Structure 1
Amino acid sequence: MTGSHCLNCNATVHSRFCPDCGQKSDTHRIVLKHFVMHDLLHGVWHIERGILFTIKEALVRPGQAAMDYISGKRIRYYNVFYLCLLLIGFTVLLSHFYESFETTHATKSNAQSEHIKNFFKDNLKFIVLSIVPMLAICGYLIFRRLKLNLAEHFIIAGIALLGKIFITMVGISINFADRWLPDFMGYVEAVFPFLILLWPVWVYTNASKGRYRFGGLLWRFIVFYLLFLFLMLVALIAVLFVLTGGEDINFK
C-alpha cells in the first residue's frame, strides 16, 4: 500500500491494516531479497511456529487449550482440523516405510473383503475425522457442566483427535528401532495403544478442571466410552451394510 490508500481495494487507510480487506498497509514492490527473507522464510516460520505451538498445546494442556480457543484466544493456533489432515498424511507415509505394513504380509482374501479393505484404505482421512463428531456428541451429552454447545465440543474433540494422531505417528516412528532394541521397544510399543485409547480422558479432565470430583469424572468416563463404542459400532455396521448390500460379511 502507498500513501493512504489500500493497493488491494483502494480503501482509505490510517493504520497498519486496511479496515476493509485486512491487507497490510506496508505492502511494497516484490524484490528478490525481500521475497526470500520475508515472504518465504517469514511466512514458513509463522506457519511452522503455529503448527508446533498447536501440537504442544494439544499434548501438554489439550482441554485448556480447547477452552482458550473457544473463548476467543485463537491467533496463536493453527487450524486443528487442517493439522489433523496433515498429520494423517505423515502417519500414512511413515506406515508405508515400516516393514510390518508391507503387502508381503498380506494374506489372500476374497473379493468382498478386498472391497471393504480398499474402501477403508481409500477413505482413511474421512474415517479418522469421523471420530470427531462421535467424541463431540459424547462430550456434549456427558460433560454438561462445561456449558458448551455441540459445535464447541467439536473443538475439544478436534484437539483430542490431534493428540491421538500425533501419538500414533510417534508410535510408528518408534517401531523403526525394533531391529536394534527389540525387547525394550516391545514394552514401549505396548504403551501406545493405551495412550491412544485413553487420550480423551486426559483431554476432558484437563478441560473440566475443578468442575467434577474424582467419582463424578469416573462414572462419566465409563458412560463416555460406552456411548462412544455404541456410536462406532452403529457407524461401522451402517458402512458395512452399504458396502455389502446387506449380504453376510465374509473376510476369508
Structure 2
Amino acid sequence: MTSKCLNCAADVTLNYCPQCGQKVSTHRYSIKHFVEHDLIHGVWHVDKGVLFTLKELFTRPGHGVREFIEGKRVNYFSFVTLILLIVTISTMLAPYVHVKMADLMPQQTREMMNSVEKFMSAHPKLVLIISIPIYSLFSFAWFNKARLNYSEHLVLNSYRIIPEMIFGLLVSIVTIFYTNTAVIAFLYLGFITLFSFLYSIYFYFQFFSVYGYSKSGLIFRSIMMPISYILLSFLSGIAIGVAK
C-alpha cells in the first residue's frame, strides 16, 4: 500500500521514506508518546539538525514548529535534547558568571521581593521551563479552535522558549568577561524581556495562522498569550505576599 511521507510528500511503500528517510509512522503527540519517545530519546540520543532547527526558530518559528507537529520531523533537533543542552551549558558556566539577575535590581526592590519573585530572579531558566505547561494551558484555551491536544501544545511551547533561553545563555557568557551592571541590566531586563514578548506574539500568530482565525482575532489571541502569563505571575505574587 502506497502512502505519502509527511515530511517531503514522496510516495512511500515501506516503513521509511526513500526520499528523506523519515519513518512512515509519525504518531500524533500524546502524553504516552511524549514520555516514551521524546523524553527518553531526547535524554539518551543526540539527533542531527541543530542548525536547521535554530534557523527555523529564528526565521519562521510558528510555521516550522507546526510542520514539525504535523509530521515533518526528520530535519529537526529534539526540543527535549536542546533544552537540556542549554541548561547543561548554563549550569557549567554558572560558577564563572559574575552578575546574577537579582544583582541587577535596586537594593530596595530586592528587600521588597517575596519568595516567588526571589526564586524567579535567581533561576530564570528554570522558571522558563516551569512556564511551559502553564503557557500550554493558555494556548490550549485561547486557540481551542485548532483542535490540538495538550501534548501538542506542550511541544509547541517547548520550542517557543528555546530562543529566549539562548539569549539568556549568551548574556550569561557576556557576564563572564563584562561586569557593567547597567549594560547587563539593559540586556536582561530590557532587550530579552521585550524580545520574549514580541517573539511570543510572532510565534503564536504564525503557528495558528492556518486554523481559520480572522486576522484581528489571531492578533488579539497572540497578544493575550504573554499578557495572560504576566497577569498570572503578578496575581500569584500578590496572593503570596498577602498570605504572608
Query: What TM-score comes out, normalization by structure 2 length?
Result: 0.60
Q: 1:188 to 1:120 in 2, by over 3 A?
A: closer
Percentage identity across paired residues of the two chains = 19
- Matches of 1:199 and 1:63 in 2, distance apart? 10
Asked if the contact 1:51–1:77 (Cα under 8 Å) also holds between the matched residues in 2, the reply is yes
For structure 1, which segment, 186-195 or 204-213, has the greater mean C-alpha deviation from structure 2 after superposition? 186-195
Asked if the contact 1:63–1:208 (Cα under 8 Å) also holds between the matched residues in 2, the reply is yes
**1:125-140 aligned within 5 A:** 126-140=126-140
Is 2:200 aligned against 1:220?
no
Q: Which residue does 2:6 correspond to in 1?
A: none
Q: Which residue does 1:56 correspond to in 2?
A: 55
Letter in 2 for 1:226: I
Q: Which has the larger radius of gyration?
A: 1
Q: Deviations over 1:72-128 (max 9, x none)?
A: 222222221231122122234445423223999998xxxxx9987997699776533
Q: Deviations over 1:200-234 (max 9, x none)?
A: 11211221235445422332234323322344356
- Matches of 2:179 and 2:125 in 1, distance apart? 30
Q: 1:186 to 1:118 in 2, by over 3 A?
A: closer
Letter in 2 for 1:193: T
- Matches of 2:150 and 2:95 in 1, distance apart? 36
Q: 1:209 to 1:114 in 2, by over 3 A?
A: closer
| Secondary structure of residue in 2 paired with 1:49 | coil
For structure 1, which segment, 95-104 or 166-175, has the greater mean C-alpha deviation from structure 2 after superposition? 95-104
- Matches of 2:68 and 2:98 in 1, distance apart? 39
Give structure 1 stretches of 5+ with no counterpart: 1-14, 18-45, 108-112, 248-252
* Count of residues in correspondence between the two structures: 199
Asked if the contact 1:132–1:154 (Cα under 8 Å) also holds between the matched residues in 2, the reply is yes
Asked if the contact 2:49–2:77 (Cα under 8 Å) also holds between the matched residues in 1, the reply is yes
Give structure 2 stretches of 5+ with no counterpart: 1-13, 17-44, 108-112
Q: Which residue does 1:154 correspond to in 2?
A: 154
